[in-house]
Structure 1
Amino acid sequence: MSTLLPELAARSMPHLMLAPIVLPLFTATLTLLMREERQRVKLGLNIASTALGLLIAVALLGWAHEASTPAGMGVYLQGNWAAPFGIVLVLDRLSALMLVLTSTIALCAIVFAGTRWHRAGVHFHTLYQLQLMGLAGAFLTGDLFNLFVFFEIMLAASYGLLLHGSGRARVQSGLHYIAINLAASSLFLIGASMLYGITGTLNMADLARCVPLVAPQDLGLLHAAAAILATAFLIKAAVWPLNFWLVPAYSAATAPVGALFAVMTKVGIYTLLRLWTLMFGSEAGASALFGGAWLMGAGMLTMAFGAIGMMASQRPVHQAGFAALLSSGTVLAAAGFGQNQLTAAMLYYLPGSTLAIAALFLLADLIERWRTDGTALRADDGDEAPFLTPELVPRPGLNLDDEEEVLVGRAIPAAAALLGLAWLMSTLVIAGLPPLSGFVGKFAMLSALLNPLGLGSSAGVQPGAAGWTLLALLIATGLLSLMALTRAGMRNFWAASERLAPRLHVLEGLPVAALLAACVALTLGAGPVMRFTEAAANALHAPDTYIRAVLQAQPVAGPAPAPVPPAVGLTPGAAR
């Protein structure tokens, strides 16, 4: 019995890889079948499903990191067809980390939305779960075409979530967002089609196997296809100068949707990192490290653009959008060097900065409502809107909670102190100041840049001038973001002495506290987390393990066919 349970768990874990995709699909179907009047039931179902998804993601992360799992890899052959012919799901440390990050932010965002925002439009819960399905599928798939399918599911849901709550600003920004993402999807299809024409496959592991074998006369076409595909991902990652759409779109979205969208830009970064290390790693022959300089340059320009945008912004929600650009640029620039120690530090920095940005989107909503005392409705073309926004005019008869109170939520003790402390912690993480995880991540990246030939470092691109530029940008952008967020904090807290105390629902303060508590947990567990990210980075920069695990995965053998009995009256040898 003592050995039976671990054996059963080991056999069931690969099937659990389907759960992050199937669970939100099932929940979305249930909520779609329910009447819109049953908002409480939908909310409870959404929260329960998202919480269960977080537990599953944590279990998968633990499984991927176990020593008994070969190289932290899990391969699931859907349809029981071997790669590269069948659809395959692949779980490693990086994809498991992204699943946990997505589920954590999603749970906090839906709890925050439960106080009021989920009632601002129709089909919110269905779209929310479809968004989670698309995100999980993008992180788990091992096939380029299925990556496109999950991207489109994710984007289709995000179109509805961005427009949730209606209003002129959301519609205008939403149309721009839809147009730019449709263009990116077209580039995705063009690049994938060209890759298929050159290599004859769309399986990621098989692509990595085929790239070194491409004929010299076809290298130009291969690189052009990769560049077109990368452009699509760079648009989705909001890299300068392709990021003009992000801040207007994210700031127009409702607060919980903006918090969830903080993960969206990281999907493009994740895909670039996954495909670049697989197809153009150090073992790719003539194509080794192709495009690395472009990734570094684009990332650094995005860092500068994001930091300057934060300085130029006055509204907290705009600063949160530019902070998302700064985080994406930092991650992309570090990834472009192709060094495992720098990649490991970047992977530690990524979840902490994303959690802090999600908290900043939620805080921006609370602060802007406090600035207007939360007692008014927005007027668009003379019509009352069923939600609260910063551009407000007095309106009577606003009853958004069950006790017919005008203000949303109940006053909790020291609400202003909670907002101020949360803003301070978010500032420390985003600016990279001690003692929180932002400082640990940036310090690790600086150490990798200053000691590029340290123990365990891979070849990659030697820092040189690019390394010193990134080092200066890490310090300068941290200083600029510190100045911008500190100035905003002084304006919203210290200069607000005549303002009434904010009234916050417990379920509004709890998600913000949980997101920042996760940043604290990353800091306290910096040693184990850094060892995890080092293992993930080593696996990324040694893609042979990934390739072998996927291409050598065997279908599950079916039951043996029953023997056919001989015909009556004939001997076994005479039966045909």
Structure 2
Amino acid sequence: MLAPVLLPLLCGAALAPLTRGRHRLKFALGYASILAQLAAALVLGAMADGGYWEDGIGVYLAANWAAPFGIALVADRLAALMLVLTALLALAALHFAMLRWERIGVHFHTLFQFLLMGLNGAFLTHDLFNLFVFFEVMLAASYGLVLHGYNAQRLRASMQYIALNLAAAMLFLIGTALLYAATGTLNMADLAWRIAAMAGAGDSADLSLVHAGAAILVLAFLIKSAMWPLGFWLPTTYAAASPPVAAMLVLMTKVGVVVILRLWLLLFPAGAAGGFAYDALLWGGMATIVFGAAGMLSTGSAGRMAGYAATVSSGTLLAVVGYGQASLVTAGLFYLIGSTLAVAALLLLLELVDRIRTPGAALLAVTMEAWVVEDKPDEPVGQGVPAALAFLAVSFAACALMIAGLPPLSGFVAKFGMFHALLNPPAPGAAIAAPGWTLMALVFGSGLVAIVAMMRFGVRTFWTSAKLAPPRLHRSEVLPVLFLLGLSALMTVQAGPLFGYLGRASDGIHRPGDYIARVLREPAVAAPPPATASAAGLAEAP
């Protein structure tokens, strides 16, 4: 369970002294570290889903201090899923950076490994202060990566990004301090048990302090999750960051959603203390969908369009959490994986598409569209489409289908699953509430907006630009895009088994009592048995 944290930590420390040159060695060490993290994540997933641990929850007590006095790491199906997704996305991003981007900055590989350490630790930790530590490790590494290969635009975007995340860190500390003042603990399982005890005893004063601390704490996560109006930073940062870094930022945006999902279902389940802030998450998520969809229609920048697409996905996931239905969370987790792969693939692909776009051609396309200039084509001459242009066009179409949720790729399966869950409430014969219809309408409408915005960009890029010169593409740039698109296709083919796994993961996080019991009852490792008499005599001999 420590491997996903220790491997990037040790690899990043080993890479730090390698400042100049040795690009092949640095790439090989980083790649080997990520492959080892992927193997560890797959093993943890098999252990969580294969009955190796009770209730599918593994607990590691750091320094052998029993909870709640020590820091606990917890691996379950959800944590293993996010660890696997992190490793797969990191493989694609690092492979894409091999040819150009990792050579621009001195410490790209070191910062990349520390970023993975923070991500993996945030998914595994079961202690609020330790979560803050891993968040800060992740953010500190991302500050350097956003500035990687800096230019004026990147510098402006990174200053905004750093300032906003420093404010979020302050809110994180304030919220954690208030929760500790009200409950006297930072262990998540112990925190959930004490909040339930307060609610049962009717302790309204301490419960109000808990709610205040949780509200401040969730603001930090919502800034990271780009909920409207806290997500104004995201499109600018995505557009300015280098492509491999922007691809990892897509996953970082989902960290806040996953933490909210785990914390809220653990601390505020249905019951006396339940229901706190679920409506705020639901309506805030739906407002974020509207904001992101409007942004996709209004922007002409490809990078900002991808950023707004990520905003729409975050809003959808926050609304799913706020709706409070286990079957909807299952489909939401499927959507989380598919949307992360789709937006990451798009951000990598746009760097290749930019090689065939010229400012003059883009301006001409916009002018012709605005003034309805008729361009009578010449007679067709049967010219073939170069392979590089065909790859870019087909890959862009696949990304558009996934983001918009059209068949046959994973985006359609995810949205179909969400609609099926909303139309089939868990209570037999129950009517669908107005928020359910509103959420379905927004998810459907955002898909239409996405396909319109991306078709507009595709037409301007591949059709209205005259005499496109085939770009020079390297295998290290093409393979990561194909890898991410292939994973999305695999999700579609294996949707049944994957939905089964996600259903078990959703069922697990909707049973907070299992987490509380597993963490608080996990015994410390017993001391070794005393030595035998003969061994003791040998030990005492001179």
Same fold, TM-score > 0.5, yes or no: yes
- Paired AA for residue 32 in structure 1: A
- The alignment status of 1:489 with 2:458, answered yes or no, reads yes
| 2:243 maps to which of 255, 263, 274 | 255
Partner in structure 2 of residue 510 of structure 1: 479
Partner in structure 2 of residue 330 of structure 1: 316
Change (3 A) 1:205 1:521: same
Task: Using structure 1 for the length normalisation, give the TM-score.
Answer: 0.85
CA contact (8 A) 2:185 2:191 kept: yes
| 1:368 maps to which of 346, 354, 358 | 354
- The alignment status of 1:306 with 2:279, answered yes or no, reads no
CA contact (8 A) 2:282 2:319 kept: yes
Partner in structure 1 of residue 61 of structure 2: 77
In the TM superposition, residue 227 of structure 1 has moved relative to its aligned partner by 0.4
Partner in structure 1 of residue 96 of structure 2: 112
Residue deviations 1:311-350, cap 9 Å, x none? 1121221111111101100011011111101111101111
Greater helix share, structure number: 2
- Paired AA for residue 136 in structure 2: E
CA contact (8 A) 1:130 1:153 kept: yes
Alpha-carbon distance in 1 for matches of 2:526, 2:123: 28
Alpha-carbon distance in 1 for matches of 2:318, 2:169: 20
| 1:87 maps to which of 47, 71, 81 | 71
* Partner SS for 2:473: coil
Residue deviations 1:403-444, cap 9 Å, x none? xxxxxxxxx971111111111111111111111111111111
Task: Using structure 2 for the length normalisation, give the TM-score.
Answer: 0.91
- The alignment status of 1:224 with 2:192, answered yes or no, reads no
- The alignment status of 1:295 with 2:278, answered yes or no, reads no
* Partner SS for 1:165: coil
Partner in structure 2 of residue 356 of structure 1: 342
- The alignment status of 1:156 with 2:127, answered yes or no, reads no
- Paired AA for residue 120 in structure 1: I
* Partner SS for 1:555: coil
In the TM superposition, residue 564 of structure 1 has moved relative to its aligned partner by 8.6
- Paired AA for residue 351 in structure 1: I
Residue deviations 1:193-218, cap 9 Å, x none? 00001111000111111111221222
Alpha-carbon distance in 2 for matches of 1:45, 1:511: 18
CA contact (8 A) 2:189 2:515 kept: yes
Q: CA RMSD in A?
A: 1.9
Partner in structure 1 of residue 507 of structure 2: 538
Alpha-carbon distance in 1 for matches of 2:349, 2:405: 19
Alpha-carbon distance in 2 for matches of 1:545, 1:420: 49
Alpha-carbon distance in 1 for matches of 2:432, 2:189: 29
In the TM superposition, residue 463 of structure 1 has moved relative to its aligned partner by 5.0
Alpha-carbon distance in 2 for matches of 1:524, 1:310: 29
- The alignment status of 1:549 with 2:518, answered yes or no, reads yes
Residue deviations 1:217-266, cap 9 Å, x none? 22221111110001111011111000111111111110000001110110
* Partner SS for 1:90: strand
Q: What is the aligned residue count?
A: 507
Alpha-carbon distance in 1 for matches of 2:196, 2:40: 37
CA contact (8 A) 1:36 1:123 kept: no
Partner in structure 2 of residue 14 of structure 1: none
Give structure 2 stretches of 5+ with no counterpart.
360-384, 538-542
* Partner SS for 1:369: coil
Partner in structure 2 of residue 344 of structure 1: 330
- Paired AA for residue 217 in structure 1: A
CA contact (8 A) 1:311 1:480 kept: yes
| 1:99 maps to which of 83, 89, 102 | 83
- The alignment status of 1:56 with 2:36, answered yes or no, reads no
CA contact (8 A) 1:337 1:463 kept: no
Partner in structure 2 of residue 6 of structure 1: none
CA contact (8 A) 1:317 1:365 kept: no
Matches within 5 A, 1:369-448: 369-372=355-358, 414-448=387-421
Alpha-carbon distance in 1 for matches of 2:335, 2:427: 20
Residue deviations 1:337-384, cap 9 Å, x none? 1110111110111101100000010011111122249xxxxxxxxxxx
Alpha-carbon distance in 2 for matches of 1:419, 1:70: 48
Alpha-carbon distance in 1 for matches of 2:7, 2:245: 20
Alpha-carbon distance in 1 for matches of 2:235, 2:400: 18
- The alignment status of 1:468 with 2:468, answered yes or no, reads no
Partner in structure 2 of residue 206 of structure 1: 190
Matches within 5 A, 1:148-187: 148-187=132-171
Change (3 A) 1:318 1:79: same
- Paired AA for residue 136 in structure 1: N
Alpha-carbon distance in 1 for matches of 2:94, 2:323: 37
Alpha-carbon distance in 2 for matches of 1:323, 1:107: 22
In the TM superposition, residue 454 of structure 1 has moved relative to its aligned partner by 6.1
Alpha-carbon distance in 2 for matches of 1:564, 1:101: 52
Partner in structure 2 of residue 529 of structure 1: 498
CA contact (8 A) 1:131 1:155 kept: yes
Give structure 1 stretches of 5+ with no counterpart.
1-16, 374-411, 569-576
Structure 1 ranges of 4+ moved more than 6 A: none
CA contact (8 A) 1:338 1:541 kept: no
Alpha-carbon distance in 2 for matches of 1:463, 1:45: 53
Residue deviations 1:43-95, cap 9 Å, x none? 12112211221222122222211134322211111111111111111001111
| 1:236 maps to which of 213, 224, 233 | 224
* Partner SS for 2:525: coil
Alpha-carbon distance in 2 for matches of 1:75, 1:176: 38
* Partner SS for 1:75: strand
In the TM superposition, residue 35 of structure 1 has moved relative to its aligned partner by 3.2
| 2:175 maps to which of 180, 186, 191 | 191
- The alignment status of 1:321 with 2:307, answered yes or no, reads yes
| 1:146 maps to which of 130, 139, 143 | 130
* Partner SS for 1:371: coil
CA contact (8 A) 2:422 2:436 kept: yes
Change (3 A) 1:491 1:359: same
